[in-house]
Amino acid sequence: MPTMTTTTETHLVREGSELDRREFFTKLGLGSLGVATAGTLAFYYQYLSPNVLFEPSPIVNAGALDRYPLGSVTLDVNSAIYLVHLAEGYFSLSAICTHLGCMTAWKPELNMIACPCHGSRFSEEGQKLAGPAPRPLPWLKTWMSDDGELMVDRSVTIPQFQFLRV
């Protein structure tokens, strides 16, 4: 036997189970505005927050003098410098090739610094011996701290053959 429903009951069932067209578009529009507002606030926050990149200090503490025996050429890979101890004294060189910026390597069997990328060769004093490098390796400012530690400033180049005499 079919059951009869009144129009008010049908309206209540329809309203509870599904949205009408106007409500659907209202909720869709408000949802879109909410997403756009959240995105805008996220971009404002990113714009207003500091955007600072960490850059290590150009001044390097190379440690005690006794770490570098006479006649040694020591590469510090983290700071890209050579620390050299010759009879004349201590000095430091940049380990970055002057050709295209490759990291060079000390070759003790050949008694020279060599660039593995393009074949430039340098003496232990940084003088260019061969290859496409246009200049010798730059000498870096080197001094002794009050604590007796060897310090190197990678941002300051000095004329060649200025040794730190201790």
- Do both 142 and 63 map to the same domain? yes
Taking alpha carbons only, the member of 83, 79, 85, 113 closest to residue 98 is: 113
In a domain, 34, yes or no: yes
142: β partners: 152
Mark residue 7 as left, alpha or beta (left: phi above 0; alpha: psi -120 to 50; beta: remaining): alpha
Q: Which domain holds residue 154?
A: 59-158
- Do both 76 and 31 map to the same domain? no
Model pTM greater than 0.75? no
Handedness of CA 33, 36, 42, 48 (dihedral sign): negative
In a domain, 164, yes or no: no
Largest CA distance in the chain: 115
- Do both 142 and 74 map to the same domain? yes
Query: Could you report the per-residue pLDDT of 90-138, keeping only the tens digit for each?
Result: 999 999 999 888 899 989 998 899 998 888 999 988 899 998 989 999 9
- Do both 89 and 37 map to the same domain? no
Q: Residue 51: is its pLDDT beyond 90?
A: no
The first and second tokens of residue 165, run together, are: 């005499």
HSE-CB for 53 with a 13 A CA cutoff? 1
Edge to edge, what strands does the sheet with 112-114 contain? 105-107, 112-114, 121-122, 128-130
Contacts with 69 (C-beta within 8 Å, 6 or more apart), sequence order: 85
- Do both 44 and 67 map to the same domain? no
The first and second tokens of residue 108, run together, are: 């003790």
- Do both 89 and 113 map to the same domain? yes
CATH of the domain at 111: 2.102.10.10
Which run of H or of E encompasses 15?
A: helix 7-17
- Do both 78 and 120 map to the same domain? yes
What whole-number percentage of the chain has pLDDT above 90?
A: 39
- Do both 63 and 33 map to the same domain? no
- Do both 37 and 98 map to the same domain? no
Taking alpha carbons only, the member of 119, 124, 113, 80 closest to residue 99 is: 119
In a domain, 53, yes or no: no
In a domain, 39, yes or no: yes
- Do both 40 and 67 map to the same domain? no
In a domain, 116, yes or no: yes
Running DSSP on this structure, what letter comes out for residue 166?
A: -
- Do both 71 and 120 map to the same domain? yes
| Phi, psi of 37, rounded to the nearest 5 degrees | -65, -45
pLDDT, residue 40, reads 94
Q: Report the domain count for the chain.
A: 2
In a domain, 54, yes or no: no
- Do both 75 and 16 map to the same domain? no
